[in-house]
Structure 1
């Protein structure tokens, strides 16, 4: 097991990645390409960049079994200091592959009426950000509507279409594939076309 590189220019690249992730969150469904950087297998480059940019010592993580190995954990600890969450309710960032289940999403914190910002951010690695069911996004950051068609796992599609929590509660979703990322924040309404 060895340490892998983080960003070559940590300050510049993390600031650039942060601005792009913020753009994706403020314009739901808009795809961004994160700056060239490492991919800590089995994490893709966009998931790695998101963790390098967003995770720190105060943001407990959860990784699904398929994405968790000793090398990934060592590099997360070294580069960000982010701890693994002891329970699902402590999670700030959760990372799943394309096999995320409804129980995985339900177990995560969805915020409270007083503090909705305590809802988790879920990063889901997908094989494709296209060729899935056509989805219509509406809500803040979208002028009228935006159409996307990521190939989503059934449980995630069901969660997005039938959000079980009342606004402002919920999960912010970051979808990644390769070095690309798109976001569906909890404020976005999703319909299957």
Structure 2
């Protein structure tokens, strides 16, 4: 009979080379907010995780970085996949997570539920990966801040009402606050805490 491990999808086939490539793409996304980046690396993400989400966690998470997932993912294939490939602990409370995955359309948890860091250690905040229905076709949002030449506009779809208000409130906490990665399929957009929301339409 097959074991749970043999039922898990594959992670990196070349961990050093592929994790370096994914890390560069993630760094570029967070240093140039609003720009869509593709993680063109073959993995077999579990049900409930977009490929970009899975690759980001494979690259950034390990046994020292607890992850928060919705219960439906934590107790299913996604949780097992992350435990096996990352060795990460899955935590029940959002504020205890170094990384988190949320459904952009879900009403809870709010961004304020995650750890914003503190004045002494702002880098200990949670990085929240927001899984979207698409990275285009939604409400248009104008951004400005470090890494953006003037302003830029994004329009991810499948986000809950009031989401951009939460992002604006998070930016007011700078240098504290959570960092965001919006993901869909193999693509992502970085929104670090320093990014400001100018307007939505």
* TM-score, scaled relative to structure 2: 0.89
* RMSD of aligned Cα (Å): 1.7
The match for 1:106 among 112, 115, 120 is: 112
User: In the alignment, which residue of structure 2 is the partner of 1:182?
Assistant: 189
Structure 1, gaps ≥5 residues long: none
The match for 1:93 among 99, 104, 125 is: 99
**Residue 72 (str. 1) matches residue 78 (str. 2):** yes
SS of alignment partner, residue 154 of structure 1: coil
Q: How far apart are the structure 2 equivalents of 1:3 and 1:39?
A: 9
Residues 103 and 160 of structure 1: is their aligned pair in 2 closer, same or farther, counting only changes over 3 Å?
same
Q: How far apart are the structure 1 equivalents of 2:70 and 2:162?
A: 15
How do residues 1-193 of structure 1 correspond to structure 2 at under 5 angstroms? 1=4, 2-36=7-41, 37-101=43-107, 103-151=109-157, 152-163=159-170, 165-191=172-198, 192-193=200-201
Structure 2, gaps ≥5 residues long: none
Q: How far apart are the structure 2 equivalents of 1:6 and 1:120?
A: 23
SS of alignment partner, residue 91 of structure 2: coil
Contact 1:13 1:35 in 2 (8 A): no
Contact 1:67 1:96 in 2 (8 A): no
Deviates more, 1:36-45 or 1:136-145: 36-45
Residues 32 and 164 of structure 1: is their aligned pair in 2 closer, same or farther, counting only changes over 3 Å?
closer
Contact 2:140 2:154 in 1 (8 A): yes
Q: How far apart are the structure 2 equivalents of 1:165 and 1:67?
A: 31
Q: How far apart are the structure 1 equivalents of 2:75 and 2:179?
A: 25
**Residue 117 (structure 1) shift:** 0.8
Residues 169 and 61 of structure 1: is their aligned pair in 2 closer, same or farther, counting only changes over 3 Å?
same
* TM-score, scaled relative to structure 1: 0.92
SS of alignment partner, residue 148 of structure 2: coil
Q: How far apart are the structure 2 equivalents of 1:132 and 1:66?
A: 26
